[in-house]
Amino acid sequence: MTTTPTSPPTMRETTYDVGGRKIFAAETGEGPAVLLLHGGGPGASGVSNYARNIAELAKEYRVVVPDLPGYGRSTKGVDAADPFGDLATGIRGLLDELGLEKAHLVGNSYGGACALRLALDTPDRVGRMVLMGPGGVGTTRALPTPGLNSLLNYYGGEGPSRLKLEKFIRNYLVFNAADVPDSAIEERYRASIDPEVIAAPPLRRPSGPGAVRTLMKMDFTRDRRLSRLPVPTLVLWGARDKVNRPSGARMLAERMPNCDLYMVANTGHWVQFERAQLFNRLCADFLAGRR
C-alpha cells in the first residue's frame, strides 16, 4: 500500500493493493463507512463525480471515494466477460483492505451496477445502498438508448475527441447542459485519452462467442436473487435520463423487496451532480435510517 499527499488537504489519498491490482481511494470524515462509486463515462473518476457531495456527507460519515478498476488512478482493464462481477470483486477486496466487514454503498450508473452486483453476491457486506440510474437494469429488454450508444461509441470510429466527449456530457448526461463547466469537460477529456485506457476501455459492448451470456449476466432483471435481496435500497432516477431509461427505476422497485424509489424531475443521468442539495439530504437520511 502506498500513500500520496492529500489533494484537497482534507482528503487522505491511498493506493491499495487489491488482488494484484491497484485501487486508488480518497477518504474523509468519520462515522459509518460509505463508499461512493462513480459512473463509467469516459474520463470518469471518483472525486470528480462526487465533487458536490463529499463534503456534505463527510459531516456524518466516513466517506471513501475509490476510482473503480479501469479508471482514474486505479489499474486499467476490466474483465470483459463479466465486467460488473469484476468491479464488485475489486471493491469487495477494497473493503477487506480498509478493514470493513460491512459498508454502505452509493453508486451512480456503472458504479450502481457494481454496488448492486456486490450486494447480490455478498449481501452481508452491505449495510444500505443508494443507486442513481444504475446500469444493467432491463438492458436485454430494449435497444440501447442514444445516450448509451454515445458513451459506448466514444473509443470507436475515429477514436476519442473532446468534441465527442462534450456532446455526450451536454446532450445526454445532464438535463441542463450549462450546468457542466468547460473545466470539468477538459479534465475528463484528458483522463479519457490515457494510453492505458485507450488500449483497454473499461466500458464496451460485449462481443465474441460469449457475448450473449455476458449480456444476460449484465441484466439484473434476469437475476432471480434480486427478488430476495435483503439490503435496504434507495433508488434515485432522473426523470429525463437519456443514458439509462427511467423505466428501469420501476423495474427495480417491483422486484426488490426493500426498495424505495424517488423519481427526480427535470434531471438527467447525473442526479448527485444536477440535484446535489436534494441528493445529499436524501442520501444522508436514508443511510442513517431516518427515512
Active site residues: 269
- Least Cα distance to 92 among 18, 24, 146 occurs for 18
Residue 12, C-alpha cell as written in the block? 487522505
Sequence-ordered list of residues with C-beta below 8 angstroms from that of 143, at least 6 positions apart, any chain: none
Q: Are 244 and 137 in contact (CB under 8 A)?
A: yes
Cell 442513481 found at: 132
The residues pairing with 26 across neighbouring beta strands, listed in sequence order, are: 13, 65
Q: Which of 119, 88, 82, 126 is nearest to 104 (CA)?
A: 126
Q: Given the DSSP bridges, would you call strands 103-108 and 126-132 parallel, antiparallel or unpaired?
A: parallel
Long-range contacts from 8-17, C-beta under 8 angstroms, 24+ separation = 10/55, 10/58, 11/47, 11/54, 11/65, 15/73, 16/94, 16/97, 16/98, 17/97
